[in-house]
Amino acid sequence: MKEHEPMVVGGLVALLVVLWLGFRFHVSPSFAGSFWGGVFGVSGALLMLLSAVYLVVKRVPPLKLWVTGRVSMQTLLTWHMYTGIVGALLGLLHTGHKFNSPLGIALTAVSLLVVLSGFVGRHLMKQISLEIREKKEMLTSLELAYRQTVGEVAAHPDLTTILWPLAGFWSRLVVGLLVTTPTESGSLPAPVRALRLADAIADLEYAIRTHETFKRWFAAWLKVHILTGFVLYSLLGLHIWAGIYFGLRWFA
């Protein structure tokens, strides 16, 4: 299930966006106040509220300690995603594509923003973290090979003379063309290997720093997701209050 999670969640998010764009082709002014409109609305609101359980558990240490003894945080995060997306889908169906009131328009817009920001932050940040881990593993291997190669060069300092033609920047760019003579063991001379390993290490270190910068950006993006989540629950509370105040027509 985990390997299919990005595809399933991505499909649900795409469905949410497509349903939202349906207001261009379909409007049902009375559906929100009908029985099934009420069922979709109440179910969507309950799922959205259930989605907040993860946020509360994550930020209350005693509660987190008690809950994680029974359910993992990863499982709670999965339920947080699915309940949030499905709740937004049901809420959108509840509207019947009738976007007339400022509160309804704001609630729909913020719901879409919360879902999209959560999806982007969750899956892109996960992918970036995975790439950082893989690149750090590669960097460790390259550093070990570099140290071994430097040891070979130290044992035969006379071999460093073959690097003299490669001292300049442009010469380094064509090192693969200038030095192609293998040693008896079938590999490039140790100094050339050390040079190539040093270049590869520098490239990897730069890539890791770039990915870590993106990771910090997406951490800030997740803060936007949390902030818009609080706005969503505030608007949802106002919407529920307005529904009760003006009468729940679906229960009449």
Note whether residue 118 is domain-resident.
Answer: yes
* pLDDT tens by residue, 188-220: 677 777 777 888 888 889 989 988 888 787 777
Percent of the chain past pLDDT 90, that is, above it, reads 13
Structure tokens, 3 = 């390997």
102 and 204 housed in the same domain: no
Using CA atoms, how far apart are residues 118 and 229, in angstroms rounded to an integer? 10
- 165 and 204 assigned to the same domain: yes
CA torsion 151→152→155→157, rounded to 10°? Answer: -110
| Structural domain includes residue 158 | yes
Task: Indicate whether 68 and 142 sit together in one domain.
Answer: no
- Domains identified in the chain, total number: 2
pLDDT at residue 102 in the model: 86
d(Cα 80, Cα 44) in Å, to the nearest integer? 13
Q: Does 127 reside within a domain?
A: no
- Give the global pTM: 0.67
